[in-house]
């Protein structure tokens, strides 16, 4: 699967959709029968097969189990989710998926730690087109899929620094914010995750206009990825990557310790509950 069409490689979503249809037909099921057996809406299943929609990864886990396909559909789903992003970001996501060490700084709550409802609110923005909602849902599902990186084996070592601004800008809905704060608390206690808050008292800093990610592979190679002011850049030159690492070190020196950051997060959660 994945052969070229008119000189272009078939998209990941098209491959996933064709695989879904192949497995269904091999099982001798109509879309209606599959809907009855799995509880998923018939029109929804049809749109997955045509590549019009990207599901949650849990849907692919369910269908893998239904067809006895191992993790075939989940693997195709991980490739298909890359279609939601531009080429440079696709390259970054591929490197992120195999990284052994991840260092991240974000002004807000980073995508790796967002709940589904919080991510949907962040990504929605002002939708002015008829298909804007569907585009948002695809990006939400793709963002949630990235969070499996924290659980894969071997587990990557992850350090995340987020600006205190992230804790001071709540979601529009109280339950969404409550669940998001709980998610941060849970993540901070994972053995492979160090979560730090850069306090307002640190003053102005050199990454106030965007985010920074540093990734190290098992062979020691490293890249940096910067986003801000409506643009993004993948940095692979070793000297430039080193400069970004040193800038990250300066942020870490200014940030609260992981234990103090967890205490601050719990204080915000308690204030919200009261």
- Of how many residues is the chain composed? 274
Q: 214 by DSSP, 3-state: which?
A: strand
Quick check: 274 pLDDT over 80?
Answer: yes
Mean pLDDT of 116-131: 74
Instruction: In the chain, list all ranges with CATH 1.10.260.40.
Output: 4-82
Mean pLDDT of 224-243: 87
pLDDT tier at 9 (50, 70, 90 boundaries)?
Answer: low
pLDDT tier at 87 (50, 70, 90 boundaries)?
Answer: low
Both structure tokens of 261: 């950051």
Backbone phi, then psi, for 148, in 5-degree steps?
Answer: -65, -15
pLDDT tier at 5 (50, 70, 90 boundaries)?
Answer: very low
**Higher-pLDDT residue of 87, 8:** 87
What is the fold, at CATH topology level, of the domain defined by 87-116+145-273? Endonuclease; Chain A (3.30.870)
Quick check: 34 pLDDT over 80?
Answer: yes
Handedness of CA 261, 107, 211, 138 (dihedral sign): positive
Helices (H), 113-232: 116-124, 132-146, 165-168, 174-188
What is the fold, at CATH topology level, of the domain defined by 4-82? 434 Repressor (Amino-terminal Domain) (1.10.260)
Strand 157-163 relative to strand 193-198, pairing: parallel
Mean pLDDT of 185-198: 96
* Residues 80/49, Cβ–Cβ less than 8 Å: no
Looking at the chain, the whole-number percentage of residues with pLDDT higher than 70 is 91
Residue among 70, 79, 111, 85 at smallest CA distance from 97: 79
pLDDT tier at 6 (50, 70, 90 boundaries)?
Answer: very low
**Higher-pLDDT residue of 13, 174:** 174
**Higher-pLDDT residue of 104, 12:** 104
pLDDT tier at 78 (50, 70, 90 boundaries)?
Answer: confident
Mean pLDDT of 108-131: 80
* Residues 241/95, Cβ–Cβ less than 8 Å: no
Question: What is the structure's pLDDT at 146?
Answer: 83
Mean pLDDT of 63-89: 84
**Higher-pLDDT residue of 75, 138:** 75
Q: How far is it, in rounded angstroms, from Cα 110 to Cα 22?
A: 37
Of 51-55, 100-104, 109-113, 204-208, the poorest mean pLDDT is in 51-55
**Average predicted confidence (pLDDT) for the chain:** 88
Q: How far is it, in rounded angstroms, from Cα 160 to Cα 34?
A: 42
Mean pLDDT of 56-62: 91
**Higher-pLDDT residue of 261, 55:** 261
Instruction: In the chain, list all ranges with CATH 3.30.870.10.
Output: 87-116+145-273
Q: 227 by DSSP, 3-state: which?
A: strand
* DSSP-assigned states of every residue in 146-177: HGGGGTSSSPPEEEEEEETHHHHS--SSHHHH
Question: What is the structure's pLDDT at 131?
Answer: 55
* Residues 55/64, Cβ–Cβ less than 8 Å: no
Question: What is the structure's pLDDT at 152?
Answer: 82
Helices (H), the chain: 12-26, 31-38, 42-49, 57-67, 72-80, 87-98, 116-124, 132-146, 165-168, 174-188, 238-254, 258-273
Question: What is the structure's pLDDT at 226?
Answer: 93
Q: How far is it, in rounded angstroms, from Cα 163 to Cα 188?
A: 15
Backbone phi, then psi, for 211, in 5-degree steps?
Answer: -110, 165
Quick check: 212 pLDDT over 60?
Answer: yes
């Amino acid at each position: 699967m994945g052969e070229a069409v008119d000189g272009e490689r078939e998209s990941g979503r098209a491959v996933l959709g064709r695989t879904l249809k192949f497995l269904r037909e091999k099982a001798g099921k109509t879309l209606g029968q599959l809907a009855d057996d799995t509880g998923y809406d018939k029109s929804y299943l049809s749109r997955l097969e045509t590549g019009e929609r990207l599901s949650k990864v849990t849907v692919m886990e369910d269908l893998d189990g239904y067809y006895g396909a191992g993790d075939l559909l989940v693997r195709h789903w991980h490739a298909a989710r890359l279609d939601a992003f531009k080429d440079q970001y696709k390259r970054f996501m591929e490197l992120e998926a195999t990284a052994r060490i991840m260092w991240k700084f974000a002004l807000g709550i980073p995508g790796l730690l967002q709940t589904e409802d919080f991510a949907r609110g962040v990504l929605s923005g002002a939708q002015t087109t008829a298909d804007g909602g569907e585009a948002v849902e695809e990006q939400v599902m793709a963002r949630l899929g990235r969070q499996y990186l924290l659980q894969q084996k071997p587990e990557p070592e992850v350090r995340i620094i987020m600006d205190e601004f992230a804790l001071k800008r709540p979601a529009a809905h109280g339950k969404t914010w409550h669940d998001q704060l709980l998610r941060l608390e849970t993540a901070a206690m994972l053995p492979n995750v160090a979560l730090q808050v850069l306090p307002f008292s640190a003053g102005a800093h050199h990454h106030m206009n965007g985010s920074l990610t540093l990734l190290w592979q098992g062979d020691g190679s490293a890249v940096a990825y910067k986003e801000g002011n409506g643009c993004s850049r993948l940095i692979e030159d070793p000297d430039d990557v080193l400069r970004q690492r040193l800038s990250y070190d300066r942020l870490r020196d200014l940030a609260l310790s992981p234990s103090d950051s967890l205490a601050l997060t719990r204080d915000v959660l308690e204030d919200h509950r009261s």
